[in-house]
Amino acid sequence: MQIPFVDLKAQYLSIKEEIDQAIAQILQNTSFVGGSTVNQFEKEFAQYIGIQHCISCANGTDAIEILLQAMGIGAGDEVIVPAISWIATSEAVSTVGGTPVFVDIEPEFYTLDPTKIEEKITPNTKAIIPVHLYGQPANMPAIMEIAQKHNLKVLEDCAQAHGAAIAGKTVGTWGDCGSFSFYPGKNLGAYGDAGGMVTNDATLAEKARRIANHGQLSKHDHQIEGRNSRMDTLQAAILSVKLRYLDPWTQARINHAQQYNQLLTHPEVTLPKVRPNSRHVYHLYVVRNSERDNLKNSLKAQGIATGIHYPKALPFLACYQHYSFTEVDFPVAARCQEEILSLPMYAELPPEHIHYITSALNTQNVNS
Ligand SMILES: *Cc1c(COP(=O)(O)O)cnc(C)c1O
């Protein structure tokens, strides 16, 4: 049995007719960048999140950069980011001229640890970027309290967490703004790169929209200099079709996670924990084991593909070696990077795959 980590084809086939029709329509219209199809998706996605403004852009990394710029964050500014995320989170801070300041993660939920933020705040700190990692909301109530106390902006990196929520309040609506990625493998994925920015702040929304399109809101109205970060119309058309299925797909992910939780009984494999009163949308299903590499290899030998998100915590990446961080600086992240293992997770994951994966895992002698 060969078990892939994800199967994007299965999802395409499940909605092929609608997708093919949406694409054909765009080819007929030959409007390939921006326009009413993109505006329509922005409206639908804002409504889905429960927020006033959604501004589309080229990808999730641009979304972070543009929102930072729109909030006036740049040279000399420090921005708090979690020690474990995809590099885009810290990279975007550097790209706008700021300095990423890493903070360790919570050991049970893998998101930014609010109890370790204040010790990293300096007079130069301007913002916090919590990341809703793996689909689990960061501890937004605690983070917002710290941000308010120190007058910091909050940009939520929601790239892995479309529709995740705490106490029914969707991620992206807690802070000043939120960034989304619609990269193909994300919970809501385009057929190429695409991104989105959300906010309830009309001024910030307008600024972000200008930056993403050469400073203009209408043609030749360049009030400021911006850049080119726009969503392709084809991607918007595809995303509008797929958005209609996001809730059932998310429910399928949650059901798969529950099935994993029930069937995984190995005493040395730590299961993911959900923050109380939260909706975890399981972009990834991440378990932990002290002999992770052995486990990964053994599963591979049985035809099971797994992933590591991520093999190195951000502070330990080669590009940040000038900071000379050691494991003592980020003990939780340092330990997690050795132990985390992502099991196959996608809406169409067949139940028999979960049975095969969990029985392979349960019969592991991890210390051999
Ligand atoms: C995917 C991702 C991004 C970047 O999104 P792109 O669309 O690939 O640029 C940013 N942050 C996190 C946490 C991500 O997983």
Residue 353 confidence class, pLDDT cut points 50, 70, 90: very high
CATH superfamily of 246-362: Aspartate Aminotransferase, domain 1 (3.90.1150.10)
| Each residue's pLDDT tens digit, 131-179 | 999 999 999 999 999 999 999 999 999 999 999 999 999 999 999 999 9
Q: Ligand 1 centre from 59 Cα, in Å?
A: 8
Distance, CA of 217 to CA of 213 (rounded, Å): 7
Q: Which CATH number does the domain 8-103+110-243 belong to among 3.40.50.300, 2.102.10.10, 3.40.640.10, 3.40.710.10? A: 3.40.640.10
Q: Ligand 1 centre from 60 Cα, in Å?
A: 5
| Each residue's pLDDT tens digit, 100-142 | 999 999 999 999 999 999 999 999 999 999 999 999 999 999 9
Which ligand 1 atom is the nearest neighbour of the CA of 59? 7
Give CA angle at 160 (155, 166), nearest 5°: 65
Which ligand 1 atom is the nearest neighbour of the CA of 194? 7
| Each residue's pLDDT tens digit, 274-310 | 999 999 999 999 999 999 999 999 999 999 999 999 9
Q: Is 183 in the pocket of ligand 1 (CB under 6 A)?
A: yes
Number of Cβ atoms within 10 Å of the Cβ of 317: 15
Helix (H, G, I), strand (E, B) or coil at 342: strand
Q: Is 131 in the pocket of ligand 1 (CB under 6 A)?
A: yes
Inter-axis angle of helices 292-301 and 351-362, nearest 10 = 130
Probe ligand 1: pick from 181, 231, 281, 342, max atoms within 8 Å of CB? 181
Q: What do you get for the CA distance between the two ends of the chain, in Å?
A: 24
Q: Is 160 in the pocket of ligand 1 (CB under 6 A)?
A: yes
Q: Which amino acid is at 34?
A: G
Helix (H, G, I), strand (E, B) or coil at 70: helix
Q: Ligand 1 centre from 356 Cα, in Å?
A: 30
Q: Please name the residue that has the structure tokens 């989304």.
A: 180
Q: Is 137 in the pocket of ligand 1 (CB under 6 A)?
A: no
Which of 280, 64, 271, 88 has the alpha carbon at shortest distance from 179?
A: 64
Torsion of CA 26, 27, 28, 32, to 10 degrees: 60
Q: Is the entire prediction scored with pTM above 0.95?
A: yes
Q: Where are the domains of the chain?
A: 8-103+110-243, 246-362
The HSE-up count of residue 286 (CA atoms within 13 Å, CB side) is 26
Sign of the alpha-carbon dihedral angle for 312, 314, 315, 317 = positive
Q: Which amino acid is at 94?
A: S
Instruction: Specify whether the CB–CB gap between 232 and 33 falls below 8 A.
Output: yes
